[in-house]
């Protein structure tokens, strides 16, 4: 009788953007017959493949990828959505004896998989973003409780309700909430400050923790109260979660016992040069036509758009909005011809300087984002003493000419040791 095949671990690849996570994930998926679970909050959206640095079609053909292009740009997609879709995929792969390889730059997505840190499902409460096109006023006819469309009245001209009216509105909300006649869907029609006041009356600790303008999280806290019939608050649920054996100050215990985390690290100066070069290569790959098409379809037709939500907040898109608003596709073509010309032209086309400013700014914010990703890993995965954290193995990707020896071979040795129930040859951090 053949010996039982070792159950594969969940392999998680952490690291800042530009450290080579996609490259390593493909190598490991090929070697171990694993499948890749993307943990990137922008790559779940359809479109902007170059901007979001998705695995190319050729790379996706090497190994099966999950959670790429699963939602249209007009829909909200939160960490809760991600968790609810990713966990069944991981469990199914483990049951089939296949290695899940979780890779992506959205570290709190990865955190939601490894630890029991979120409450409820909440997915059914998410909506298509309410955005109004010039030729579609249907949203305005949905009912008197809906907020005015952005742009109908200037913020400085909109009448402000007196303080006593605000108190009456808040009081009415409290009465309906406690009576159970306030639906969760109605919450969207109120402004964040009013909802924050409501939350303070039913869940003071959560209200103290949340900013009055953080509408999404305020609504989520109110959902917990309403869905429980007024018997439970978010603060009570989180407190209970942190009291479970194995939990920590950051939330519940580990969800899986067999996890290997590979942390790709790169010296900052080398990473900065790599990221700058990647921005330049994105232009050559077709960045400008991609963001122009996306702008024309998903931004220009609408009166209101929030560059702090959904795919509109993607690094690599919002930095170009001013350019896209000022110039058109015809000018894009002139600029691309100039940028790809084999000979220097004495005359610079209009818009070249503006595009250059956008590209320089994109390089700056990309470098900043990489540093924030690194800091998140240090704070959330390494910085809390009371948290049970899977072993984390650091791999140096600074010198790409030594990739096989410094990254691939070491990662394989670690995983092989885990599969063979042996001590890995490298100490975790």
pLDDT tens digits, residue range 7-39? 899 999 999 999 999 999 999 999 999 999 999
Separation of alpha carbons 349 and 89, rounded Å: 50
Give this prediction's pTM: 0.83
Look at residues 114, 116, 382 and name the one whose alpha carbon lies nearest to residue 259.
114
Mean pLDDT for 364-371 is 96
3-state SS assignment for residue 120: coil
Q: What is the CATH number of domain 171-243?
A: 1.10.20.140
Q: Assess whether pLDDT exceeds 80 at residue 308.
A: no
3-state SS assignment for residue 157: coil
Q: What fold does the segment set 10-124+257-267+372-420 form as a domain?
A: Rossmann fold (3.40.50)
Task: Write the CB contacts of 30 (distance below 8 Å, at least 6 apart in sequence).
Answer: 62, 63
* Domain limits, the chain: 10-124+257-267+372-420, 171-243, 268-369
Sheet holding 10-15, edge to edge: 65-66, 35-38, 100-103, 10-15, 259-265, 392-396
Token representation of residue 46: 């359809």
| % of the chain exceeding 70 in pLDDT | 86
Q: Assess whether pLDDT exceeds 50 at residue 90.
A: yes
Look at residues 390, 381, 121, 114 and name the one whose alpha carbon lies nearest to residue 252.
114
CB 73 within 8 A of CB 127: no
Separation of alpha carbons 97 and 15, rounded Å: 26
pLDDT tens-digit profile of 153-193? 344 444 444 444 445 556 777 888 888 788 877 888 888 99
What pLDDT score was predicted for residue 23?
A: 98
Domain 268-369 has CATH 1.10.287.890: yes
Mean pLDDT for 328-340 is 91
Percent of the chain that is helix, strand, coil (3-state, to 5)? 50, 10, 40
């Amino acid at each position: 009788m053949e010996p039982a095949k070792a159950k594969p671990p969940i392999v998680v690849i952490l690291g800042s953007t530009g450290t080579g996570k996609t490259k390593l994930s493909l190598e490991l998926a090929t070697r171990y017959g694993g499948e890749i679970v993307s943990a990137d909050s922008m790559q779940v959206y359809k479109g902007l493949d170059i901007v979001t640095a998705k695995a190319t079609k050729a790379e996706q053909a090497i190994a099966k990828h999950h959670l790429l292009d699963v939602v249209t740009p007009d829909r909200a997609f939160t960490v809760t959505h991600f968790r609810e879709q990713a966990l069944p995929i991981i469990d199914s792969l483990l049951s089939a004896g296949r290695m899940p390889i979780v890779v992506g730059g959205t570290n709190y997505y990865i955190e939601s998989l490894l630890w029991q840190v979120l409450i409820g499902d909440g997915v059914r409460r998410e909506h298509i973003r309410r955005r109004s096109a010039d030729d579609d006023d249907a949203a305005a006819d949905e009912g008197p409780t809906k907020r005015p469309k952005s742009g109908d009245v200037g913020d400085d001209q909109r009448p402000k309700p007196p303080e006593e009216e605000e108190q009456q509105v808040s009081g009415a909300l409290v009465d309906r909430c406690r009576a159970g006649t306030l639906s969760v869907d109605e919450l969207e029609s109120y402004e964040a400050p009013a909802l924050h006041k409501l939350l303070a009356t039913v869940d003071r600790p959560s209200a103290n923790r949340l900013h009055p303008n953080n509408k999404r999280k305020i609504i989520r806290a109110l959902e917990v109260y309403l869905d429980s019939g007024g018997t439970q608050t978010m603060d009570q649920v989180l407190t209970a979660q942190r009291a479970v054996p194995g939990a920590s100050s950051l939330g519940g215990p580990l969800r899986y016992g067999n996890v290997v985390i590979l942390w790709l690290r790169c010296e900052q100066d080398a990473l900065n040069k790599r990221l700058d070069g990647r921005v330049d290569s994105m232009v050559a790959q077709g960045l400008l036509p991609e963001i122009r098409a996306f702008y024309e379809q998903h931004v220009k037709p609408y009166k209101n758009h929030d560059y702090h939500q959904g795919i509109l907040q993607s690094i690599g898109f919002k930095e170009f909005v001013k350019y896209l608003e000022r110039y058109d596709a015809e000018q894009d073509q002139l600029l691309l011809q100039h940028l790809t010309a084999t000979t220097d032209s004495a005359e610079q086309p209009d818009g070249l300087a503006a595009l250059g400013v956008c590209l320089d700014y994109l390089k700056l914010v990309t470098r900043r984002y990489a540093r924030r990703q690194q800091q998140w890993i240090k704070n959330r995965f390494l910085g809390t003493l009371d948290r049970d954290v899977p072993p984390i193995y650091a791999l140096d990707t600074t010198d790409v000419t030594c990739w096989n020896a410094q990254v691939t071979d070491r990662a394989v040795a670690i995983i092989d040791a885990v599969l063979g129930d042996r001590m890995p040859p490298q100490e975790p951090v």
